[in-house]
């Protein structure tokens, strides 16, 4: 057992490593976890000492609030290894800020910055061999918080666990992604929790997404709950549309997640003089653009999926195939972003943070 010097962290190192048993070339997203995890408990109004321990199941009382009322939030982040074996985080401050915004919205305590950021760095240092070099490789970082207080009264818990687990990752989607535009189901509503990274926002998508899968579509493009006329998000990603030479994406709102990849794409586009409009895009505009040939590309953007081109979409039982582009903007943007993340291009924004 050892103590970290700046933040006090108890570290119980694993005596063995699973790393030799992992096929890093054939990872399916989010199924393999590294040797260690971090957790930190909140009780009596304060956070305790974070503990890094071998990755293992957690024992919890069956009445813990998270099981009954879904009081749970998470973040999705990544670490990358450069050619000199240094490990880097991408805009961790943004994930930290959003995590605490989500905490406030779910009536949970905010996590102190040193526990989140220093705890994360210390955990990654211990498992740094799990971060593989090369574009396309990363370590997906999953900080989360759950309500651990006992009792099934429908009220916020008094006890919580913050934890971080790490998973080596390649791509999120395999192959082509076709999407179905939502006509009935909604991901979020005004006044709801759509802007928070709350676990329930994702489980609420499972059923409509399964229905879409059954029709041959991998994801759903969510529309606004009130009118189903505005295009908002694509599955677990923010969504961009290229019509003629302009890139469009919806403004963030109470219904839309303030994605770090989305934000970074907008900043990259501004730097590189790519025309962008942040405004609501109507389903009718999209259909018209698909029909007259001005719709060039649709892509999703998120930490897990990075930038994911969409091959076509369906609306009211009509399928619209997107034209194949020679040098799609989606892939140009993905390249610029991943070059910065892997330290293959100058980080003019100061986005990368050394672990
Ligand atoms: C991410 O992109 O990190 C997400 O949170 C999506 C997740 C559901 C895999």
Residues 107 and 251 in one domain: no
Residue 354 covered by a domain: no
Residue 121 covered by a domain: yes
Distance between Cα 192 and ligand 1 center (Å)? 19
| 89: Cα within 13 Å, side-chain hemisphere | 24
Distance between Cα 220 and ligand 1 center (Å)? 15
What is the secondary structure of 62-119 as a DSSP string?
A: TT-HHHHH--EEE--EEEEE-TTS-EEEESHHHHHHHHHHHHHHTT-PPPPHIIIIIH
Q: Which of 138, 170, 202 is the last residue of a domain?
A: 170
- pLDDT of 335 strictly over 90: yes
Looking at residue 324, which CATH number applies to its domain?
Answer: 3.20.10.10
pLDDT digits (tens, 9 = 90+) for 33-63: 999 999 999 999 999 999 999 999 999 999 9
Torsion sign over Cα 313, 319, 321, 322: negative
Residues 263 and 164 in one domain: no
Helical axes 329-341 vs 260-271, angle rounded to 10°: 100
Helices (H), 194-328: 199-214, 260-271, 283-292
Cα gap 68→56, rounded to integer Å: 23
Residues 160 and 12 in one domain: yes
Query: Which atom in ligand 1 lies closest to the alpha carbon of residue 303?
Result: 2
pLDDT digits (tens, 9 = 90+) for 110-127: 999 999 999 999 999 999
Q: Which domain holds residue 212?
A: 178-341
Burial of residue 351 (CB within 10 Å: 0-12, 13-18, 19+) is: buried
pLDDT digits (tens, 9 = 90+) for 159-193: 999 999 999 998 776 777 999 999 999 999 999 99
Ligand 1 binding pocket mutation candidate from 166, 303, 306, 308 (most atoms within 8 A of CB): 303
pLDDT digits (tens, 9 = 90+) for 294-321: 999 999 999 988 999 999 999 999 999 9
Residues 52 and 121 in one domain: yes
Residue 352 covered by a domain: no
Ligand 1 binding pocket mutation candidate from 31, 76, 198 (most atoms within 8 A of CB): 76
Distance between Cα 198 and ligand 1 center (Å)? 11
- pLDDT of 5 strictly over 60: no
Distance between Cα 304 and ligand 1 center (Å)? 5
Over range 139-162, report the average pLDDT. 97
Query: Which atom in ligand 1 lies closest to the alpha carbon of residue 197?
Result: 5
Residues 315 and 208 in one domain: yes
* Residue, of 274 and 3, whose pLDDT is higher: 274
Ligand 1 binding pocket (C-beta < 6 A) is: 76, 202, 236, 302-304
| 292: Cα within 13 Å, side-chain hemisphere | 8
Query: Which atom in ligand 1 lies closest to the alpha carbon of residue 202?
Result: 8
Residue 1 has a pLDDT of 52
Ligand 1 binding pocket mutation candidate from 30, 77, 304, 308 (most atoms within 8 A of CB): 304
What is the secondary structure of 9-67 as a DSSP string?
A: -EE---SS--GGG--TTSPPTT----SEEEEEEEETTEE---EEEES------TT-HHH
Over range 133-161, report the average pLDDT. 96
Cα gap 109→156, rounded to integer Å: 10
Q: Which of 170, 188, 215 is the last residue of a domain?
A: 170
Residues 149 and 202 in one domain: no
pTM recorded for the entire structure: 0.94
Place of tokens 């903007």: 329
Residues 226 and 299 in one domain: yes
pLDDT digits (tens, 9 = 90+) for 200-227: 999 999 999 999 999 999 999 999 999 9
Query: Which atom in ligand 1 lies closest to the alpha carbon of residue 302?
Result: 2
Query: Into how many domains does the chain fold?
Result: 2
Q: Which of 170, 197, 230 is the last residue of a domain?
A: 170
Phi and psi at residue 336, to the nearest 5°: -60, -45
Share of the chain above pLDDT 70, in %: 97
Distance between Cα 173 and ligand 1 center (Å)? 12
Buried b (16+ CB within 10 A) or exposed e, 73-112: bbbbbbbbbbeeeebbbbbbebbbebbbbbbebbebbbbb
Query: Which atom in ligand 1 lies closest to the alpha carbon of residue 77?
Result: 3
């Amino acid at each position: 057992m050892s103590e970290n010097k700046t933040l006090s962290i108890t570290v119980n190192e694993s005596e063995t490593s699973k790393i030799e048993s992992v096929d890093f070339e054939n990872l399916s997203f989010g199924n393999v976890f590294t040797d260690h995890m971090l957790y930190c408990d909140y009780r009596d109004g304060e956070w305790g000492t974070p503990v890094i321990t071998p990755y293992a199941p957690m024992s919890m009382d069956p009445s813990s609030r998270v099981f009954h009322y879904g009081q749970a939030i998470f973040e999705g982040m990544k670490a990358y290894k450069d050619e000199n074996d240094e490990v880097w985080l991408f805009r961790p401050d943004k994930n930290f800020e959003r995590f605490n915004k989500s905490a406030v919205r779910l009536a949970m305590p905010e996590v102190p910055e040193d526990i989140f950021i220093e705890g994360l760095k210390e955990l990654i240092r211990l498992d740094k061999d799990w971060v593989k070099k090369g574009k396309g490789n990363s370590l997906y970082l999953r900080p989360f918080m759950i309500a651990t207080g006992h009792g099934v009264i429908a009220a916020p818990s008094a006890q919580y666990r913050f934890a971080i687990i790490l998973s080596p990752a390649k791509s999120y989607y395999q192959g082509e992604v076709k999407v179905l535009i939502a006509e009935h189901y909604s991901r979020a509503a005004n006044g709801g929790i759509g802007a928070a990274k709350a676990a329930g926002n994702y489980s609420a998508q499972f059923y409509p997404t399964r229905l879409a899968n059954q029709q041959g579509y991998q994801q759903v493009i969510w529309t606004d709950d009130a009118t189903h006329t505005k295009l908002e998000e694509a599955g677990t990603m923010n969504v961009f549309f290229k019509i003629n030479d302009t890139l469009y994406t919806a403004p963030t709102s109470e219904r839309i997640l303030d994605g770090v990849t989305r934000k970074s794409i907008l900043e990259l586009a501004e730097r590189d003089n790519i025309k962008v409009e942040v405004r609501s895009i109507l389903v009718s505009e999209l259909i018209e653009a698909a029909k007259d040939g001005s719709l060039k590309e649709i892509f999703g953007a998120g930490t897990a999926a990075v930038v994911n081109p969409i091959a076509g979409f369906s609306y009211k039982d009509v399928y619209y195939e997107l034209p194949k582009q020679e040098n799609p903007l989606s892939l140009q943007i993905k390249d610029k972003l991943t070059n910065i993340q892997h330290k293959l291009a100058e980080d003019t924004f100061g986005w990368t943070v050394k672990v």
